[in-house]
Structure 1
C-alpha cells in the first residue's frame, strides 16, 4: 500500500521524507534479477523469481510488479525462450485486412514451440494468451530461465519502398557475438522461406541482420539491451503493413513455414557452429519510439492477501494509537507504513550487515491485538525485512510500528 504525504501533518517532517522516498521507490518498475533463479509456472503464466525468503518467493508478475508468491510449478531453466511480441492493448502493426501483429506473433510462436518440442528442446513462451506484458518482464523471464537462445517474434510495419525480395530484418545485441550469430541464422532461414513466395514485397535499407542503436554502443531495443549475456534476437519476418504481405500471412501454410524457418535457425544455432549471414553494419536510430512499457498494465489477482496479527502491551498500544492519530493514519496503515520505511532503509543500504546490528526481535504478546491485511505486492516489504533480520512477519510488523512511534516523537 502506498501513502500520500498529504495525509501527514506539517510537523511530521521526518515521516514526510520517508513517504516521498517510499512512493518513488515503490513506483519504480521491478528490473528482475540477472541471475538465473528460475521461474514459477501456473496456468501458462511465468513468474520469474527475484528472491527467496522465509515468507515465500518474491517474483514479478506479468506487469513486472514484485509480489510474494507461493503457487505454481518451479521451472529451473529451458533451452529456448520464445517471445511473441506485443499483446493486450499493444497491437503492433495492423494489416489492411485486419490481421493484428500481436495475434500473428502468438500464432507463430505457438507453432515454433510445437516444432522445437518435437526436436527434444525444452521451451518457454513469455506469453501464451493475449496478455499485456512490458519489455522488462519479458527479459526478466529470459534472464531467470537462462536459455541457450531467446527469440522475440515480430512482423514489421512502416516500409513502403518496393522490393523484389522480402524485407526481413533481424536485430541482434551490439556486443554479443552469439546474439549476432543467432540473428544471421534467423535471417538465412526466414528470408529463404519467404523468398519462395512472390508478392509485391516492401523493404528498407536495414534488410538483413544488424544492431539498431539509440546511441553508440547502446541497443535501442530493451529485449536485447536487458539480456546482454543471453544469445537474443528480434525477428521481423515481413512487413504486415504491406497489404499483399498481410494477405499472405493469413494462410496457415505460410504461418507454419515461418515457424519452421525459425525452428531450423534455432536448431542450427544450438547444434552447429554455422556463422549465419546477411549481416549489415550497426546503425543509430535516435528518433525511434517503441512500445513495451508497463503503463496501463493491470495484473490479475495472482495471490491471496496475508493477515498478520500483532499483540501490544497497554502502554505500547496507547503510544501506537496516539502516533497513528498524529500522522493521520489508522493503526493498521501506520504499522504497514513502518515496514515500508524499514524496507526503504534496506534499499538505501543493501550491503548493511544485520548480524552486526544486534537488533532483538520485539515481543509480540499483549492484551491489545491489531491485524493488518497485506496484499501480495505489499508482502514484498514484509518478506525482505523479515529475511534480513530473521524475524517473523508479526515481529517485522511490530518493528515497523516501533519505528514509526519513534519517528513521530522527533518533532
Structure 2
C-alpha cells in the first residue's frame, strides 16, 4: 500500500475514534428538530420523540442527549406549554432578599398550570422541579408537542431607572403575528395586575411588547428562534434586582396575582381575537449573551441497557479479534465502533433510499458468539443504522464489525 493510502486510512480511523469516544461520553447534543412526534413522559419529565424505530423510540433527555426510551406513557400534544426559565446552576436574577428567579419562575408556572387546568386546557411544563435544561431541549419539547401557546416565564434584573409603573417586558417572534398578539395580551394583563401596587418601580426603554434581535430579522432568544411553527413568547414580569420588587414577589398572594394575569392573557389569546397592547418596535441587541447551554448538564439514568448477541464463523472471528487487537480495542468496543461509524456515514449520505439495495444483511450464525452491552445512548446508533438498512440489531452489530475489519486491514 502506498504511504499516502496508509496515512489516509490512519486519519480516517483517528477521526472515527474521536467521534466514537465523544458519543460514548454522551456529550453530543441532539440536533434541533421541528417534528411533531409527541413525547414520552417519565416521572413528570418530558422526552420529545426524535424518531420511531423498530428498536425503540429515539428521544432526547433533559440534557438534550439522544437515547432509546420505550416508556409506556405517551403525550401527543397539549394546548399550552409553560417553560419556567432557568433551573439547576442557572439561577437567573437573584434579589437582595435571596429570592432566586429560577425558583420564582417555577412557582408562578405551577400556579398558571393550575389556573389553566381549571379552564379545561391541557397543559405541560418543560420542568416541574429545579432541573438544568438547555434551551435546545425546551424548544425540542415545544416542537414535539406543537402547542397552541408556548410561554417562557421569567423575572427580570438589572434596571435602575426609577419609574411610576411596573417594568413588564414581553418578547415575541419577529416573523409571527400570532406570537406578537400573544405578547401584547400578556403584557397588557401582567402590567395592569402589577400597576395597582404602589412601590418604587424600575424599568427600561423596552417596557412593553417587542422583538429582541441579534441581527435584522433574527430573534436573539433561542426559545423564540427555534420554535418557528409555535406561537412563542418570553415574559419578564418585574425586576428582582430592585429590592422593593423582590420583596413584593416574595408574597404568595402576589405570585398568585401574576399567575392569574398570565392565565387571562393566554385564555384571551385562544378564545378571542383581542389584539393586545404595549407594542414597541423591534430592536437589535448584538451584545446580548444568553444562557441555557448544555455545558455541565448531567442526566439521571433513563431507559435500560440492551445486550446484543452476534455469531461469527471461525475465520470471521479470527479476523475480528486480530483487527481489534491491532486497533487497541476489545472485540466489544470494536463492534460498537463500527456501528457508530456506520451511523456517521448515514448522516453524511444524502441518498439513503438506495441503502437496502447496496448492502445485503450479514449472516449472524456461527460457532463463535460475541455479546455487546449497549447503553441507552449507544443504542441510538444501533437503531438508526438498523432502520436505514432494514437490519436486526445483531445484523447491524456484525455489519459494524465487518466495516472495522476492512478499515483496519487497509494498512
Q: Is the 8 A contact 1:84 1:102 kept in 2?
A: yes
Q: Is the 8 A contact 2:168 2:236 kept in 1?
A: yes
Alignment of 1:319-398 (within 5 A): 319-354=319-354, 357-398=357-398
Q: Is the 8 A contact 1:42 1:71 kept in 2?
A: yes
Q: What is the DSSP-based 3-state SS (H/G/I as helix, E as strand, rest coil) of the residue aligned with 1:357?
A: helix
Alignment of 1:8-407 (within 5 A): 12-20=10-18, 22=20, 27-354=27-354, 357-407=357-407
Q: Which runs of 5+ in 2 are unaligned?
A: 1-6
CA distance in 1, matches of 2:163, 2:392: 66
> Paired residues, what number?
403
CA distance in 2, matches of 1:356, 1:81: 40
After superposition, give the CA deviation of every residue in 1:163-200 in whole Å (9 maximum; x if it has no partner).
Answer: 00000000000111100000000000000000011111
CA drift of 1:24 comes to: 7.2
After superposition, give the CA deviation of every residue in 1:112-154 in whole Å (9 maximum; x if it has no partner).
Answer: 0000000000001000000000000000000000000000000
After superposition, give the CA deviation of every residue in 1:6-58 in whole Å (9 maximum; x if it has no partner).
Answer: xxx99733312333455678754213420211011111000000000000000
Partner of 1:4: none
After superposition, give the CA deviation of every residue in 1:364-387 in whole Å (9 maximum; x if it has no partner).
Answer: 111111111111001000000001
* Runs of 4 or more consecutive aligned structure 1 residues displaced over 6 Å after TM superposition: none
Q: Is the 8 A contact 1:32 1:48 kept in 2?
A: no
CA distance in 2, matches of 1:183, 1:10: 55
Superposition TM-score, scaled by structure 2 size: 0.95
Provide the alpha-carbon RMSD of the alignment.
Answer: 1.5
CA distance in 2, matches of 1:324, 1:215: 51
CA distance in 1, matches of 2:22, 2:324: 22
* Change beyond 3 A, Cα 1:205–1:175: same
Q: Which runs of 5+ in 1 are unaligned?
A: 1-8
CA distance in 2, matches of 1:203, 1:99: 19
CA distance in 2, matches of 1:217, 1:147: 24
CA distance in 2, matches of 1:222, 1:349: 29
CA distance in 2, matches of 1:81, 1:325: 52
CA distance in 2, matches of 1:97, 1:318: 69
Q: Is the 8 A contact 1:112 1:262 kept in 2?
A: yes
Partner of 2:3: none
CA drift of 1:290 comes to: 1.7
* Change beyond 3 A, Cα 1:267–1:95: same
Q: Is the 8 A contact 1:80 1:122 kept in 2?
A: yes
CA drift of 1:219 comes to: 0.7
Q: Is the 8 A contact 2:190 2:262 kept in 1?
A: yes
Superposition TM-score, scaled by structure 1 size: 0.95
